[in-house]
Amino acid sequence: MHLWPLAVYLVIVVMLVVAMLGLSFVLGQRHHNRATGTPYESGILSQGSARVRLSAKFYLVAMFFVIFDLEAVFIFAWAIAVRETGWTGYAEAMGFIAVLLATLVYLWRVGALDWRQGSRRVVA
């Protein structure tokens, strides 16, 4: 089989990790100071609880960001082939962008971009 380098590689990786962890376990120093267990060993004291409640709107905006960001990738793909695809490609890319704009108009109209507390149109 021509896959044997992969197997050798796997074995070496495991051995390396075991060696590194094992050596530091055997040879390393042990500290048990006041700050050892705290989140920041540099000494900064953490404040308050980590379980902060964030407004669901942040997630909504984050999702819009991811979606529109991802769509931009398709435009990049078109951009590197813009000469080869010609006017047909141009028309199709325009169609794609038009749909994106339509989405933006829709989001704006249903109030998904509204940041005010009182506007509950999306959830209603």
State the minimum distance, in angstroms, from the CB of residue 4 to another protein: 15
Q: Which two tokens stand for residue 122?
A: 């999306």
119 makes contact with another protein (CB under 8 A): no
| Residue list 96-115, contact with another protein (CB under 8 A) | 99, 102-103, 105-106, 109-110
3-state secondary structure 47-63: CCCCCCCCCHHHHHHHH
State the minimum distance, in angstroms, from the CB of residue 108 to another protein: 8
Nearest alpha-carbon partner for 78 in 70, 64, 66, 90: 90
> Going residue by residue from 61 to 100, which x/- string records binding to another protein, judged by CB under 8 A?
--------------------------------------x-
Helices 56-80 and 82-110 pack at an angle, to 10 degrees, of: 160
Cβ distance 37 to 31 under 8 Å? no
State the minimum distance, in angstroms, from the CB of residue 106 to another protein: 5
Residues of this chain that bind another protein (CB under 8 A): 99, 102-103, 105-106, 109-110
